[in-house]
Amino acid sequence: MLNVQNIIELISKILALMLVLPLHEFAHAFVAVKSGDPTPKLYNRYTINPLAHFDLLGLACFAFAGFGWAKPVPVNPNNFRNYKKGCFFVSIAGVTANYLTAFIIYPLLILTFFVPNFGYFDDVLQLSLRYVFNFSLAFSVFNLIPIYPLDGFRVVDVFSKRRSKIYKFLRYQGIYLLYFLFLLSIFSDITGVWQINILGYLLSKVVGYVSMPITLFWGLFF
């Protein structure tokens, strides 16, 4: 049964995702266009409008498992002025944008602890900023997994000259392993059996490490 706290959490998650996911995909589109490829504009993805980027299954995974995905921005690397540079910078644009978002949001989150509380509005604001911070880092780390079609694989693809068995697995079979781990995470969330949430556990550990430079830096001022 929904109570006030559940509603506040749901609203906060939606508000956070409306910022985190579009920024990630728009970053890909922005760098692709600047690299010479007009494809994102042709497909109406050169925008921060959340509706242009949301994927229903990816959103559901975010809601249940705390990590998910958006619709990939269509890109034609053959249009890049410099093929390798274009592929590399487009690949890392999304995770870079998310990490920078977390860096900027963190001090704002800290400041909310020092202002007077005005009831539910403050609760939504503080929780939304916390979700933006957490989701941004989780989305960055998740997308660095070197499995197609995630950004991490696209980086590997840029520098991989030899199509080894490992490469072929990451390109063609790795996604099935990812789906399996997703299902375990969702099942864990529903049943409360946290021990089977392998992907969630690993991501939370890595997120903890990558968040340290941000918290340590802003800790110098707060």
Q: Higher pLDDT residue, 200 or 109?
A: 109
What amino acid is encoded at 21 in this protein? L
Rounded to the nearest integer, the mean pLDDT of the chain is 89
Range of the domain at 53: 4-219
Query: Mind listing the pLDDT tens digit for each residue in 128-149?
Result: 999 999 999 999 999 999 999 8
How many structural domains are present in the chain?
1
Is the pTM higher than 0.75? The answer reads: yes
Catalytic site residues? 25
Instruction: Kindly tell me if the per-residue pLDDT of 79 is higher than 80.
Output: yes
Query: Mind listing the pLDDT tens digit for each residue in 162-194?
Result: 778 889 999 999 989 988 988 888 788 778 777
Instruction: Kindly tell me if the per-residue pLDDT of 121 is higher than 80.
Output: no
Residue 68: burial class (beta carbons within 10 Å; 0-12, 13-18, 19+):
buried
Q: How confident is the model at residue 66 (pLDDT cuts 50, 70, 90)?
A: low
Q: Which two tokens stand for residue 74?
A: 């269509």
